[in-house]
Amino acid sequence: MIRAFLAVLVAVVAVVAGGCNYFNQSPAVLWYRASTSATALHSLFTLPQEHVDSFLKSYEIFEKEAYDSPEDAKNIVNYYQVINHLCAVGDLEKMYIPPVTDLNNGIFANQMEWEEKGMADKLDVGPGKKVLEVGCGRGRIAHHVASYTGAEVTGINIDPSQIAMAKNYAEAEGILGKTLNFKLANYNDPLPFANETFDALYHVQALTYAQDLKALFTEMNRVLKPGAKISFLDWFKLDKYNPEDKHHQHLLKEVKAVIGAVKTPSAEEYHTALRETGFEVLFSGEASIDGGHQWPLVQKADLFYTTFKSIVDTLTTFHIIPAHLKVLLERLVEGGQSFVEADKLGLFTTSYQIIAQKPAVKR
Helices (H), 46-195: 49-58, 70-89, 107-113, 121-123, 140-149, 160-172
Query: d(Cα 342, Cα 331) in Å, to the nearest integer?
Result: 19
Q: Which helix (H) or strand (E) holds 350?
A: strand 348-357
How far from the centroid of its chain's Cα atoms is residue 332's Cα? 15
Measured distance CA(86)–CA(305) in Å, rounded: 9
Lowest-pLDDT range of 27-41, 140-154, 179-193: 27-41
Beta-strand runs (E) in the chain: 130-134, 152-157, 180-184, 198-204, 224-237, 280-286, 348-357
pLDDT for 155-164, tens place per residue?
A: 999 999 999 9
Q: Going by C-beta distance under 8 Å and a sequence separation of 6 or more, which residues neighbour residue 158?
A: 73, 76, 77, 80, 135, 184, 185, 186, 187
Q: Whole-angstrom Cα distance, residue 41 to residue 154?
A: 28
Alpha carbons 304 and 260: distance in angstroms, whole number: 19
Mean pLDDT of 344-357: 97
The pLDDT, as a whole number, for residue 293 is 87
Average pLDDT over residues 68-74: 91
pLDDT at 319 over 80: yes
* pLDDT value, residue 323: 94
Report the residue count for the chain. Answer: 363
Is it the case that residue 33 has pLDDT exceeding 90?
A: no
Residue 1 has pLDDT above 80, yes or no: no
Q: How many CB atoms lie within 10 A of CB 220?
A: 25
Average pLDDT over residues 308-319: 91
SS3 (DSSP) at 265: coil
- Kind plus residue range of the DSSP H or E element containing 312: helix 295-317
- List the one residue out of 225, 223, 161 whose CA is nearest residue 189: 223
Residue 288 confidence (pLDDT) above 70: yes
End-to-end CA distance of the chain: 66
Residue 363: predicted pLDDT: 53
Return d(Cα 238, Cα 253) in angstroms, integer: 15
pLDDT of residue 29: 73
pLDDT at 21 over 70: no
Q: Give the pLDDT of residue 19.
A: 53
Asked whether residue 4 carries a pLDDT value surpassing 60, the answer given is no
Report d(CA 115, CA 202) in Å as an integer.
11
- pLDDT above 70 covers a percentage of the chain that reads 92
- Using pLDDT thresholds of 50, 70 and 90, give the confidence band for residue 20: low
Per DSSP, the three-state class of 172 is helix
Gyration radius (Cα) of the chain, Å: 20
pLDDT for residue 153:
99
342: left (phi over 0), alpha (psi -120 to 50) or beta: alpha
